[in-house]
Amino acid sequence: MTHLTDSEARTMPSSTADTDRKRGRLVLYILAFLVALAVIYTGAWFYFARELENRVATNLAAFKERGIDAACENANASGYPLRLGLHCTRVIWADQAKNLSIATGSLNASARINDPMRIVSDIEGPATIDAPGLMPLEVVWAKLNSDVRLDKPLPRQLAVEGADLVVKERGAAAESPPLAVLKQGSLAFSTNEPEMNVALAFANLKLSDNVVFDRPLPELTGSADIQLANGFALLGKPERDLSALRGQSGVLRNVDLGLADGSGLVVSGPFSIAEDGRITGEFNITMRNAERVAQALQAVFPEEKRTISSALQAMAFMPRDASGSPTLPLSVKEGKMSIGFIRIGRLPPV
């Protein structure tokens, strides 16, 4: 049996104590480092928060110098510790020169610290809108948010989603029906200069009678996937209507418009729009339940009943897709529409 000498017996407790003290100091150093890091991070967060608030104030002042009354009421930074964002109790944009004004409820916009180029936001309603040619509007919704991927000189991606939107005439009687009701909707843009991709989807859109074409319209659900060859140029145009599309070309990858019973039509094909607004393109039109679609179109455009009937008859001789739906080739040259050698009408210029 081995026996420890007196010196060995005295050395072991001292060694153990030294090790424990070293471990204790290491833990304290780590804790001190973490506390210092937290203090530095917190200081940096509040510094950038103040910079954000100052930048907002500076930008709003710049808008006012250009004649635009923009406001982000009670603006303050938010989102500590993992996000840096901005909260406003009310947002206002009023361009007096264009007689355009929009006011909404609160805005919450933020970006994660580890992904600062992506900004997500949500906006509370109601919104009031005044625009040339429109009656004063009020819009309410259950959800309205956006997701933006920043880039220079313009955002690379932008997506907006909404749910349960209701558009009313502001000041109308409480029992007056809404001008439009939308169950769900989304709009997304992505750019790869000079191209722009646009994706649109909506469900259960019901417009009040006589709002469009001065006649009742059925409830609609649809989607669109469109590529514009030079869509980037649209961002610099002053026009804010369809005339901004003049000079553009692109592809309708898939434009689907459906009725409540599932019938509908799908349009695809390349197109171009001349500077005078005339459309030229080669399209394929596929109809789900062609008879029901024709009835709906005739109800909306009774003056085009003969043209719609002719197109329906032609569908009977057209090839069909995998689901059995007829596909109609439609040629448009400077607005003039034809199926083969049969002229069926003219599209108005945009």
What is the DSSP secondary-structure string of 39-85? HHHHHHHHHHHHHHHHHHHHHHHHHHHTTEEEEEET-EEE-TTTEEE
Alpha-carbon gap, residue 92 to 66, rounded angstroms: 15
Considering only residues 343 and 137, tell me which one the structure prediction assigns the higher pLDDT. 137
| Predicted pLDDT at 256 | 96
Q: What is the pTM of this model?
A: 0.79
Highest mean pLDDT among 100-109, 172-181, 304-313: 100-109
Instruction: Please state the rounded mean pLDDT for residues 28-49.
Output: 83
**Prior bond to 319 cis, omega within 30?**
no
Residue 316 has pLDDT above 70, yes or no: yes
Phi/psi region, residue 257 (left: phi>0; alpha: psi -120 to 50; beta: rest), is beta
End-to-end CA distance of the chain: 104
| Predicted pLDDT at 106 | 95
| Predicted pLDDT at 109 | 93
Q: How confident is the model at residue 124 (pLDDT cuts 50, 70, 90)?
A: very high
| Predicted pLDDT at 89 | 94
Alpha-carbon gap, residue 297 to 285, rounded angstroms: 14
Residue 193 has pLDDT above 90, yes or no: no
Residue 1 has pLDDT above 60, yes or no: no
Considering only residues 313 and 23, tell me which one the structure prediction assigns the higher pLDDT. 313
| Predicted pLDDT at 340 | 72
Instruction: Please state the rounded mean pLDDT for residues 227-253.
Output: 81
| Predicted pLDDT at 39 | 84
263 contacts: CB under 8 Å, gap ≥ 6: 287, 288, 289, 292, 293, 296
Rounded to whole angstroms, what are the CA distances from 276 to 161, 269, 349?
Answer: 34, 21, 7
Instruction: Please state the rounded mean pLDDT for residues 217-245.
Output: 83
| Predicted pLDDT at 3 | 54
Q: Please, where are the H alpha helices in the chain?
A: 6-65, 290-300, 305-315
Question: Mean of the per-residue pLDDT values for the chain?
Answer: 86
Considering only residues 322 and 195, tell me which one the structure prediction assigns the higher pLDDT. 195
Q: How confident is the model at residue 161 (pLDDT cuts 50, 70, 90)?
A: very high
Rounded to whole angstroms, what are the CA distances from 222 to 79, 145, 258, 269, 322?
Answer: 36, 20, 6, 17, 21
Q: How confident is the model at residue 240 (pLDDT cuts 50, 70, 90)?
A: low
Q: What is the largest CA-CA distance in the chain?
A: 117
Q: How confident is the model at residue 81 (pLDDT cuts 50, 70, 90)?
A: confident
Q: Is 18 exposed, middle or buried (0-12, 13-18, 19+ CB in 10 A)?
A: exposed
Tens of pLDDT, residues 256-293 = 999 999 999 999 999 999 999 999 999 998 989 989 99
Residue 7 has pLDDT above 60, yes or no: no
Instruction: Please state the rounded mean pLDDT for residues 132-154.
Output: 89
Highest mean pLDDT among 59-68, 130-139, 239-248: 130-139
Cα angle 230, 239, 164 (rounded to 5 degrees) comes to 90
Instruction: Please state the rounded mean pLDDT for residues 27-53.
Output: 83
